């Protein structure tokens, strides 16, 4: 299936093509919009496109043609997750409650993208409320965008909550996308759709203008088809900006921990096989590996309070017509049939609403500080004691059927980095049943994001595991 641009072209390649006149931003934007129109009815990856995108692209072309200074992403179309404010478009978080919520300004990271010359193409679908409304809804479903589909096998989960961003990147609906993560929401969907997902160290990307869950863990990050593009986006949205060197090879003496991750009951032979193959590849690259065990912190008792406090503040400041606090949101969802409350419930919303009747704000904040400090201390100890450059672990398990039974064997490794605020990146590493993507994640030292990107790029170039999706309706029998 023809892509909007050659699959192997990176952001750097596209910029070079535009600089030499082989391509214009207007042409690239038009191709992306046409591809969205053709594929999105089946994938449900995009919630909205920005009608101003073509004119923005033409303006960049005129500036480039006149010899004016253009930014490091000049003319590159980007899709952003629809819990990130973009001025002029609603920020729905996938909920009908926010269909008329119009932000007063761009989110901080969108301001940086526009300043670098990027063309904001539109907004991607997501698990409603970034998967914080309920335990019961399928990953990738929202009443605004529908059910996002995995482009490798359409009846399989895309995972979430940044499902639309991951699927859009995998299907070439835009050169690059942005997702958000509180607990695995970049890493899991990126791995399940055979793309690169980078969760930066907490605090490296500004959180202003993002529909919140927990200010202690929320972060935005790139979801792209290769590490070089993730680095190009991060270099623009990161604070402070530091050079990212994507030089081939690993430094002499590189040591990498290998962790088996967190596993539910069931067989995980394919994830084990891919992890073993990735470990062997690291040895080929000259790295030493050592098995490690990481802490699995539980933050489920504090996040309900953090969500209530943060979402009430966000709703109080957001423009447009919408519920003004969590109590109003709960009432809206119960009254709107499209929100399917009888099917999926509101259990996380309801726990959050009651959270401040269980413990005091001071107790919650003290508990959060303890969890964060203990997690960071444990991870720092592992890195320092074993002299590790990174820790590798399985990103995901075999994607299950969207409408299959409720309990599925699953593997993940997002918890320590998410709670501790450490950077992590998933890279395609193999396939289950020859079709269902599997990835491995690398966790880096806190605030050493640029070094982690370099390591991931070396692994990616040595393995080249990613293949294009085939849009199979189901697995071959």
Q: Active site includes 3? A: no
Residues 6+ apart with CB under 8 A from 88: 50, 52, 102
Query: Is 395 marked active-site?
Result: no
**Which tens digits make up the pLDDT trace of 52-84?**
999 999 999 999 999 998 999 999 999 999 999
In sequence order, the 6+-apart residues with CB closer than 8 A to the CB of 188 are 159, 160, 395, 396, 412, 414
List, for residues 384-433, the tens digit of each pLDDT value. Answer: 999 999 999 999 999 999 986 667 888 999 999 999 999 999 999 999 99
Burial of 342 per CB tally in 10 Å (0-12, 13-18, 19+): exposed
Q: What is the dihedral of CA 153, 157, 160, 165, to 10 degrees?
A: 20
- Among the listed residues 428, 459, 109, the one whose alpha carbon sits nearest the alpha carbon of residue 282: 459
Largest CA-CA distance found in the chain, in angstroms, rounded:
63
Q: What is the dotted CATH code of the domain comprising 11-300+363-463?
A: 3.90.1300.10
Task: Report the percent of the chain where pLDDT is more than 70.
Answer: 99
pTM of the model: 0.97
Catalytic one of 25, 81, 142, 441: 81
> Pairing state of beta strands 424-432 and 196-199?
antiparallel
Neighbours of 274 (CB within 10 A): 23
Set 25, 142, 165, 185: catalytic member: 185
If one counts every other C-beta atom within 10 angstroms of the C-beta of residue 138, the result is 16
**List 127, 142, 161, 214, catalytic entry:** 161
* Dihedral of alpha carbons 116, 233, 229, 162, sign: negative
Residues 330-376 have pLDDT tens digits of 999 999 999 999 999 999 999 999 999 999 999 999 999 999 999 99
Closest by Cα among 318, 306, 134 to 208: 318
Backbone CA torsion sign across 197, 245, 75, 2: negative
Q: CB–CB of 73/85 below 8 Å?
A: no
81 catalytic per annotation? yes
Q: Are 118 and 73 in contact (CB under 8 A)?
A: yes
pLDDT tens-digit series, residues 211-267: 999 999 999 999 999 999 999 999 999 999 888 889 889 999 999 999 999 998 777
pLDDT single digits (tens) 90-99 = 999 999 999 9
Contact 244, 454 (CB under 8 A): yes
- Alpha carbons 124 and 128: distance in angstroms, whole number: 11
């Amino acid at each position: 299936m023809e892509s909007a641009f050659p699959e192997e072209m990176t952001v750097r390649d596209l910029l070079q093509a535009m600089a030499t006149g082989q391509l214009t931003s207007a042409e690239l934007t038009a191709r992306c919009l046409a591809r969205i129109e053709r594929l999105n009815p089946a994938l449900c990856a995009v919630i909205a496109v920005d009608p101003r995108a073509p004119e923005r692209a033409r303006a960049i072309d005129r500036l480039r043609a006149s010899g004016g200074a253009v930014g490091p992403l000049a003319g590159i179309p980007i899709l952003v997750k629809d819990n990130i404010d973009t001025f002029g478009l609603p920020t729905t978080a996938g909920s009908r409650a926010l269909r008329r919520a119009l932000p007063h300004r761009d989110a901080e990271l969108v301001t940086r993208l526009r300043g670098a010359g990027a063309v904001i193409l539109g907004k991607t679908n997501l698990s409603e409320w970034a998967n914080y409304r309920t335990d019961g809804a399928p990953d990738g479903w929202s009443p605004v965008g529908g059910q996002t589909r995995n482009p490798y096998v359409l009846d399989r989960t895309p995972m979430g909550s940044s499902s639309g961003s991951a699927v859009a990147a995998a299907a070439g609906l835009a050169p690059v996308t942005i997702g958000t993560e509180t607990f695995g929401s970049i890493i899991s969907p990126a791995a399940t759709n055979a793309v690169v997902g980078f969760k930066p160290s907490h605090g490296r990307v500004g959180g202003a203008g993002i529909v919140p869950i927990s200010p202690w863990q929320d972060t935005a990050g790139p979801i792209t088809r290769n590490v070089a593009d993730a680095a190009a986006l991060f270099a623009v949205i990161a604070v402070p900006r530091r050079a990212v060197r994507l030089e081939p090879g690993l430094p002499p003496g590189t040591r990498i921990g290998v962790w088996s991750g967190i596993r539910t009951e069931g067989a995980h032979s394919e994830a084990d096989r891919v992890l073993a193959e990735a470990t062997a590849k690291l040895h080929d690259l000259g790295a030493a590996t050592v098995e490690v065990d990481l802490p699995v912190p539980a933050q489920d008792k504090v996040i309900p309070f953090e969500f209530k406090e943060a979402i009430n503040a966000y709703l109080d400041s957001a423009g447009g017509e919408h519920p003004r606090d969590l109590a109003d949101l709960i009432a809206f969802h119960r009254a709107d049939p499209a929100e399917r409350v009888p099917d999926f419930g509101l259990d996380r919303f309801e726990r959050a609403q009651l959270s401040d009747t269980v413990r005091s704000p001071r107790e919650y904040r003290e508990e959060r500080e303890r969890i964060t400090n203990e997690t960071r201390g444990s991870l720092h100890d592992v890195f320092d004691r074993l002299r590790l450059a990174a820790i590798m672990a399985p990103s995901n398990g075999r994607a299950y059927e969207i409408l299959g039974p409720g309990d599925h064997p699953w593997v993940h490794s997002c918890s320590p980095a998410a709670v501790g605020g450490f950077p992590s990146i998933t890279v395609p590493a193999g396939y289950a049943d020859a079709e269902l993507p599997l990835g491995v994640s690398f966790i880096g030292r806190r605030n050493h994001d640029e070094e982690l990107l370099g390591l991931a790029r070396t692994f990616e170039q040595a393995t080249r595991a990613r293949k294009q999706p085939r849009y199979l309706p189901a697995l071959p029998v």
